[in-house]
Structure formats: structure tokens, C-alpha cells
């Protein structure tokens, strides 16, 4: 019998076979967050390990992305959420895109928005631009950290794909998406486009 507070890890989950690099947002992704569930279910997934998820520093996070990507067995898919999206974009802008298969960016926060975390000041200057690698920006219609128009603009700047997923808040554990099957399907489509 399962303990009441235990997180039930996925029994059935459909993720691409490519290695995954998980890039959480500020405060990291807790055990019930879809990123953590995907990582637990994937045999070749790695999570970045910056010095601090609570007091994020962009250069430290970019280095952490680089270290995680370089430790992958082959070109990984970057799976970023929230502030991690800005870290992934900043890392890619430094010319590292040949090291990854694609970027999956969920709930990109608007650095000029009123809810942007004060602890993440070093991320405010990250601006998306065409990277030369496949990307998908996934956005919720009621994300308190970034309006859907902002996410669409990021996708255009990256010359990537854009998908809206309805009203899912910040697409995090509080959104109640669990294993986030919609995200799994979108990631599978992105991976399929690479072949």
C-alpha cells in the first residue's frame, strides 16, 4: 500500500528516446512537477545543478546547462520550464546549439512583466533570437508570469514553433497537469520533426 504523501511515479509515459536535459525554473521543480516525473521515467535524463535554484545567477545557470549537456550520451533535448527557459536560450545564444537536438520551452516568463522574480535580475536582459536549432514554445493562456502574446513573440524570435495549451496557469505542479500528457505529445512531435 502506498503512503498517502508519496509521489506516484509514472507507470505509462511516452517520451522520446533521446537524452533529456531538465532545466527547471526558480526554486527547482518539486517531485510532483511534470519535469521531475519525466526525469524519473527517462533512463537518460539529467537535471542541471546550479549553485542555487533560490538565488539564481544567469552565468551560473548557463554553465550548469553546459555541464549537463556535455554529460549527455548524445545530443539531448533541452526540457526547460519558466526561468529555465531563459537560461536555455542564453546558453544557446552563446553558440552551443550544435550540442542539442532541440529546445522545449514551457511557460517562458516575461522578464519585463510585473510578476518576474526579483531574485532573478541577471536574467532580465535575455532576449530571444534565431538560434539555428529546432524549438517549441508552449504557453498557457492564463500564465501569471507571461502573457501568451509574449510567448508567441519568443517563438517568432527563435524561428521556432508555438503551441498554446489552454488555461493551465504556469504549467507547474499547482496547475494539476501531473505527467502532462499534452506536453509529452508536443515533445514527441518536436522529436519526430528532427528525424
CB 46 within 8 A of CB 72: yes
Residue 186 resides in a domain: yes
Instruction: Record the pTM.
Output: 0.93
Strand partners, 161: 136
- Say if 174 falls within a structural domain: yes
Q: Which domain holds residue 78?
A: 20-193
pLDDT band at residue 12 under the 50/70/90 scheme = low
Q: How many domains does the chain have?
A: 1
- Check residue 58 and give its pLDDT: 98
Contact 74, 18 (CB under 8 A): yes
Q: What is the pLDDT of residues 135-172, one digit of tens each?
A: 999 999 999 999 999 999 999 999 999 999 999 999 99
Per-residue confidence at 5, pLDDT binned at 50, 70, 90? Answer: very low
> Residue 77: what are its φ and ψ, rounded to 5°?
-90, 130
Q: At what angle do helices 58-70 and 83-91 cross, to 10 degrees?
A: 70
d(CA 43, CA 51): 24
The mean of the pLDDT values for the chain is 93
Mean pLDDT of 4-32: 79
pLDDT, tens only, 53-66:
999 999 999 999 99
Examine residue 10 and state whether it is found in any structural domain, yes or no: no
Give the confidence band of 195 by pLDDT, cuts at 50, 70, 90.
Answer: low
Q: Give percent above pLDDT 90 in the chain.
A: 90
Q: What is the CATH number of the domain that holds 152?
A: 3.40.50.1820
Amino acid at each position: 500500500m502506498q503512503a498517502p504523501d508519496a509521489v506516484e511515479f509514472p507507470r505509462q509515459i511516452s517520451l522520446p528516446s533521446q537524452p533529456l536535459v531538465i532545466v527547471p525554473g526558480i526554486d527547482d521543480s518539486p517531485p510532483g512537477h511534470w519535469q521531475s516525473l519525466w526525469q524519473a521515467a527517462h533512463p537518460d535524463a539529467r537535471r542541471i545543478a546550479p549553485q542555487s535554484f533560490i538565488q539564481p545567477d544567469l552565468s551560473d545557470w548557463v554553465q550548469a546547462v553546459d555541464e549537463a549537456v556535455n554529460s549527455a550520451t548524445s545530443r539531448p533535448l533541452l526540457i526547460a520550464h519558466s526561468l529555465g527557459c531563459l537560461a536555455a536560450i542564453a546558453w544557446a545564444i552563446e553558440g552551443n546549439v550544435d550540442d542539442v537536438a532541440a529546445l522545449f520551452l514551457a511557460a517562458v516568463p516575461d522578464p519585463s512583466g510585473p510578476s518576474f522574480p526579483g531574485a532573478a535580475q541577471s536574467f532580465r536582459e535575455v532576449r530571444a533570437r534565431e538560434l539555428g536549432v529546432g524549438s517549441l514554445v508552449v504557453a498557457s493562456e492564463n500564465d501569471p508570469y507571461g502573457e501568451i502574446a509574449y510567448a508567441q513573440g519568443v517563438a517568432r524570435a527563435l524561428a521556432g514553433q508555438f503551441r498554446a495549451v489552454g488555461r493551465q496557469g504556469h504549467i507547474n505542479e499547482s496547475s494539476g497537469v501531473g505527467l502532462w500528457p499534452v506536453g509529452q505529445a508536443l515533445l514527441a512531435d518536436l522529436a519526430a520533426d528532427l528525424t
